[in-house]
Every structure is written in structure tokens, then in C-alpha cells.
Structure 1
Amino acid sequence: MKILHRVFPVLLLAYHLLFAWIGYQYILTHHGDAERYWFLGQDLSASSWTDFLKPGTDVVKLLTFPLVKFFNLPFWSGFLIFSLLSFAGVLILYRNLMRLAGSKVKLQILVVLLMLLPNFHFWTSLIGKEALILIPLTIFCAELSRKRYFSVWLIISLLAVAVIRPHVAFVLALSYVLALLFTLPLSLKRKAVLLGVLALMTGLFTWLLAGLQDFSGGFQRVLQKYEAHISYFKTTDGYVPLDRYPLPYKFFTFWFRPLPFEKEGGLYGVISIENTMLLVLSLFAAFYSVKYLSILKKQMLFVFPVIMLFIFTLMYVYAYANYGIIMRTRVMGMPFFAVLLVEVFGVAVNEAGASKKRLFS
């Protein structure tokens, strides 16, 4: 396995860059947001770089604008650049998972499998927010794994996520505070401080989000936006009636569908195989989670991902009803999903080893 540790990151880079080419070919055929981010067909003569000093989508344009206007780089180069940027996040995640796996070969194999999931590489190789947000998400995950619960890098990564997607940053912050309250023996004073910080961050994220969306109608306005999304997705080829499913099936669809033979086409065939693998791993993880709950419920790397993924999924299953959008969205949750799997299987492996020692002692 030592050779694997040295060679695999290089192979992973080549594998990741392959998806830059696949993504480029896909967008040329099917079109997508990448064309808008690269200003294809747009007149930039009256535009300035400072026009894009705003959160959200403009973060991507802030990066692409000089590449297009001043350097006149071709469209394909954008996929290469964004793939190289997102690979930093891929590498951070890989090293973090391998550190958690330690010397256990079974866990190392699991890490390799998780790092080869095609959906993860495809969406982070396109010109878009997924490539940029992956880096702060994986940094946040790595700091958490190293128990650096209040580090500067953790805070910076959270703020970076907020600039790109404020609502995801809110989910991270809320889940993080709840996980700290559940897993750390904090005094009442420190709990109050944590809740106060969460309130301040919620205000910041709300302010950023209000700059991107009109929420003047309050909660009713949010429901209207959700309904508008569903109405649009009904007109698309990838529509899935998520709006009509009960909540458990919404969650199942978000993470594990389409399954084999549900949708036609090569791309759906590939993703269905990936979904099947994730479903099998998740079923085993669910079994071990119940079996070793007394141990796992005290672990930050179990409690935080469970809370975060639940809230994250709950937020999106009411807004989206299209397989493509769902597959793109869940990429943001994959670093935490992977950590959760490695943590649960790690505890299972440790306990199985301990049982053998007791048996033969």
C-alpha cells in the first residue's frame, strides 16, 4: 500500500483532469451554466472587474472575467483551470480520509473507491461554483477531523463558503454548533457563547443571502421560489417527482437514485452504478451505526456529518426535482458523507479487532 500512497495522487490528478475534457464535451453538446460563466456571446466592452465584487454567482465571474476579457483564453481552458482548482479540494479530502483510515487496508481501499466516484469529479471539473466551493468545504472537513474546532482555517473556510453559497454556510454553522453541544463537555457560559456566535453568523449569512435573493415576502416568498423551481423542473428531461414523494423517499431519491435501469442513457448508467455502490455502503454503515451507537454518538466525525447531511438534504429536497441538479448539489455533501462512512467503518473494524483479541487472549 506504500506504493499506492505515492502513486495514487498522481493517478487521481489524471483521472480528475479527464473529467475536465468530458465536462467540456458535455457542455458543448448540452450547454449549461459554464457558458454563462465564461461570457460566451456576451459583450464585455462596457464591463469592469469590479462589477463582480458580489457574493454568489459573481464569485465565479470575478475569476473568469480577466481570463476572458484580458487574456482571451479559449473556452476549453476554463475547464482545465477550474479542474486544477478543484483538485486542491480533492487532494485535501483524499489526504484527510487516508489519515483517518490509518494503517487499516480495508479502510484505505474504501477511501480509494470513494475518491473515484465519477459524479464527484464531473461536477467539480466544470466552470462553476462546485469547483470553487469544494476547497473550503474540504478544509472545514479536515480541520474538524483534526479536532481543530476553533481554528482560523476553519473560520476562514466557513466564510469562504458563505461568499459562494450563504445558505450552505448556515447549514454548516448550525450543524457544527449542535455537534459541539452534543459531543463536548461545555460549561453553560461556553454554550451561551457558541449560540451567540451562531446568531451573529446567521445574521451575516442572511444579509449575504438577501443580497442574492428577494425574500421580502418572508417564508411565503421562499415557498413561492420552491414552487417556481418545481414548475420549471417539470419541463425538463431529468424531472423526478420529488415534490410528490413522502420525506423518507425524498431523501432516498436525493442520495441513491437513479438506480440501474431507471433512466436511459450512458450518463445515467454510470451514475446508477455509483448510486448502487453508495446505497450498499450506506446500508452497511447504517447497520454498524446502530450496532456501535454507544461509541459513535460521542464522536464528532459521526455526530456532525449526520446532523449536517440531514439538514442539508432537507433544505434541497423541497426545492429540486431534477436528477441533474440533484447530482450536482449533493457534491457539496460528499466530503462529509465520505468522512461519515470512514468513521463508521473505522469503528466497526476497531471493534472487530478488539473482539478477536479478547477471544484469543
Structure 2
Amino acid sequence: MIGAFILLIILYALTQPLLKVFKSKYRWFDMDLMQKLFWYHVFFALVYYVTVMNSRSDSVSYFERPQYAYSSWWEAFQTGTLFIEFVGYPFINFFHFSYEMMMLLFSWMGFWGFVYFYIFFKENVKYKHYYEGYDLIMLFMFLPNMHYWTASLGKGSIIFFGMGMATYGLSKLKGRKLALIAGLAIVYYVRPHIFLFMGIAILVGLFTGKQDVPKYQKWLVLIGAAVALTLMYNTIISFVGLDSDNLVGSFDQFSSTRAYELSSANSGIDISNYPLIFKLFTFWYRPLFIDSPGFTGIVVSIENVFYLLLSYKLWEKGFLKFFKVSSSLVKMSAVLFIGTSLALGETLSNMGIIVRQKSMVMYYLLFIIITYLDYKKGLVASKKKNAADLQLAASPQN
């Protein structure tokens, strides 16, 4: 425990100059907010750690296996679970990190995912937006369920870090290609199927978005994605247990089997016979208060109600018009959110796993919502400006 306390001091000290680099680049970057976010995330790392003390989690095996399961570090360099053990191997075996120190280290990775998503939101949203008097982007950054599942030794923290980095890179592609590539590489090694969805989403966004992206950048990304997906196709398909010769049939069989297995676990719900829209609703907005009693269930339910209230905006008459003229980032977010939701919504039927898995993609839904609100504010501002210009033109002095 002393080692974890010392590591916390070191990580906090390392965080300060890195945050200052972002502050020097972006005047709107809120150092004070990021400091609070750091300690908020550490709090959830502590909450997760206390929870693990009472019920064993995968994080324990991620810490134990690198100590005996491999003859060398590179033996663990594979996709999925083994990649988490690959990342942890040198810290555990060379630097002798304790379990608490590894939990803190991976939590720190999760924190940087929030920093990247914060920048992504801020540089693509023009106006201030409030919910019950609170800045909406600030509320996004402090959603408790997002922090809980990204604050421990495991896939959740590192894939969130990778997705945040990739999204940050895509936001300003011209100057952040390395961030995009590095983020996508992390996503691929942790969850290859999510990498597939991200690759498709990026391509759709670039070629359908309304912003002026140079053609050479579009084709560069297209060629790179085509090569990457060709090389990684078999790995991605085999990772999720599908048959490359019969993708539709094998996915249907896989989803039915997976749903049955998970529904028989604790907190399982049988959604195999749900209509598709109900499966998606379950993935996005459940548990609600009647599903999950207890303090944790209430906290998660409050967050899901928040998602529901914001999602109501997407049913407004002007949303489709906005979406048609939206940027590549909005369309990328939509494809990634819907594609991942369809895949996971078909296979997950355990509440705990649903709550954990959806934390990967909910920021993309929130980005779509807030950019729509931004679009609406822009229309109002434009009308006011036009009215003011007409009034000025019609004044006697002119």
C-alpha cells in the first residue's frame, strides 16, 4: 500500500507538466477542472479496489498470470486478455509493482482517456451548453459509471485510453496522425472487433461528412484502413469466434449462445427474445431503478435517466436536417455508436457486463447530442445576426 501511495505522488507529478502542455496549446483548457478530474478518478479507483476486496475480479488474474504464465515478456504479445498481461508484465516482473500499484497505473491510463475526450468535445463545440445550471461538458466528464469501469487493472481503462487518443487524433487529423494510429493500435490489441467498428466509422465519416477534408487525407486513411483490415481480418473474426465463410449464420449462433450464457449468470436478464429496439434500449439505458436495487444500482440508474433525457433531443424535427449537414466526426460517432450497440446488444444479457461495455461508446452518443445543441444555438445566433444587420441597414443613418 505504501508503494501505491508513492506511485500516486509520482503519477500526479507527471500529470502536471503534461496538462500544462495542453494548456499552452488551448486557451480554453481548464487546468483546475482536470485537477479535480484526476482526484475524482482516483476516488473511483479506490472504490473499485474496495469492491474487489469483497468479490474477486478479472483484475486479480491480470496481476497474477504475468508472474508465472509466460517464459518471456513477448510471449504475451497477443490480442485480447493477453495484451493486458503484456502491458502489465514489465511493471510486475521488472519493477515489482504490487497489485495496488498496477490498479493505480491502469487507472491513470483511464484518466488520460477523459483528458483526450475533453479536448475532443471542447474543440468541436462552439457554444456553452448547460443542464440544470451546470456546464454540460463538465457533467460529461464526471459521469460516475464512466469512471468506475475505467479505473482499474483491465481492458476497460486501456481501451478507453486508446479510443480517447484515436478520437483526439481524428479531431485534427492533419497534425495528429500519430495519435490516431497509436490509439487505434491500442484498441486493436485490446478488442479487435471494436477496432473494426472504429475503422468503418472513420471511413464513413470522412467520406460523408460536410467539412472540407483534403482528398489526399481521405485516400490516405482509406488505403491505410484497407491494408490494416485485410491484414487483421482473420484475427478479428477468430477473436470473436465467427466463421469467415458464414459470418451471418455464425454471428446469429454466437449471439444466441452468448445471450443464454450471460443470462444464466448473476444479474442476468434474458433478452434473447426481445425485439431489436428493446435490446438496444436495454444496452443504452438500463438498468433503471426497478432493475437494480441498492446504492450502486441507484447511481447507475440516475446516470441512465440523464442519458434518456438528453437522447430525447434526437427525436426533434430538426435533428435529421442537422445530421445531413453534420461533420465527419458526428457521422463517425453515429456509425461507431450504432454499430457497436447492435453487435453488443445482440450478445450481452448480463446487467453488469452491459453497464461496463457501454462505457466505451456512450461519449459518442453524447457528442452527437451536444453538437446538435450547438447547431441549434448556431441557427438562433445566425438569425439574430441577420435581423441586426437588416435593422442596421434600414436605420436612417444608412
Corresponding residue of 2:361: 333
Does the residue aligned with 2:293 lie in a helix, a strand or coil?
coil
Q: Which has the larger radius of gyration?
A: 2
- Superposition pairs for residues 338-349 of structure 1, below 5 Å? 338-349=366-377
Does the residue aligned with 1:203 lie in a helix, a strand or coil?
helix
Does the residue aligned with 1:12 lie in a helix, a strand or coil?
helix
CA shift in 2, pair 1:209/1:149, >3 Å:
farther
Confirm whether residue 262 of structure 1 aligns to residue 291 of structure 2: yes
CA shift in 2, pair 1:314/1:77, >3 Å:
same
Corresponding residue of 1:129: 155
Alignment equivalent of 2:59, drawn from 34, 46, 66 = 34
Q: Residues of 1 paired with 2:239 and 2:101: CA distance?
A: 28
Structure 1 counterpart of 2:199, one-letter code: A
Q: Residues of 2 paired with 1:71 and 1:160: CA distance?
A: 22
Q: Residues of 2 paired with 1:187 and 1:11: CA distance?
A: 38
Does the residue aligned with 1:243 lie in a helix, a strand or coil?
coil
Q: Residues of 2 paired with 1:190 and 1:18: CA distance?
A: 41
Corresponding residue of 2:188: 162
Does the residue aligned with 2:208 lie in a helix, a strand or coil?
helix
- Superposition pairs for residues 60-75 of structure 1, below 5 Å? 60-75=84-99
Q: Residues of 2 paired with 1:326 and 1:45: CA distance?
A: 30
CA shift in 2, pair 1:248/1:178, >3 Å:
same
Confirm whether residue 296 of structure 1 aligns to residue 320 of structure 2: no
- Superposition pairs for residues 43-192 of structure 1, below 5 Å? 44=68, 47-102=71-126, 104=128, 106=130, 109-146=135-172, 148=174, 151-183=177-209
1:347 CA drift (Å): 0.9
1:147 CA drift (Å): 5.2
Q: Residues of 2 paired with 1:52 and 1:233: CA distance?
A: 27
1:358 CA drift (Å): 4.3
1:141 CA drift (Å): 1.6
- Point out the more displaced range, 94-103 or 273-282: 94-103
How many pairs are equivalent?
Answer: 357
Q: Residues of 1 paired with 2:95 and 2:333: CA distance?
A: 42
Structure 1 counterpart of 2:357, one-letter code: T
Q: Residues of 1 paired with 2:70 and 2:137: CA distance?
A: 48
Q: Residues of 2 paired with 1:149 and 1:294: CA distance?
A: 30
- Superposition pairs for residues 295-334 of structure 1, below 5 Å? 295-298=322-325, 299-334=327-362
Structure 1 counterpart of 2:355, one-letter code: M
Corresponding residue of 2:264: 235
Confirm whether residue 204 of structure 1 aligns to residue 228 of structure 2: no
- Point out the more displaced range, 330-339 or 5-14: 330-339
CA RMSD of aligned residues (A): 3.0
1:193 CA drift (Å): 7.7
Q: Deviations over 1:96-148 (max 9, x none)?
A: 22233345253980101111111110010021111111222112222333354
In the superposition, the TM-score normalised over structure 1's length comes to 0.88
Q: Residues of 1 paired with 2:344 and 2:70: CA distance?
A: 37
Judge conservation of contact 2:289–2:301 (CA < 8 Å) in 1. Answer: yes
Does the residue aligned with 2:64 lie in a helix, a strand or coil?
coil
- Point out the more displaced range, 226-235 or 49-58: 226-235
Corresponding residue of 1:23: 48
- Point out the more displaced range, 263-272 or 26-35: 26-35
Does the residue aligned with 1:252 lie in a helix, a strand or coil?
helix
Q: Residues of 2 paired with 1:3 and 1:303: CA distance?
A: 25
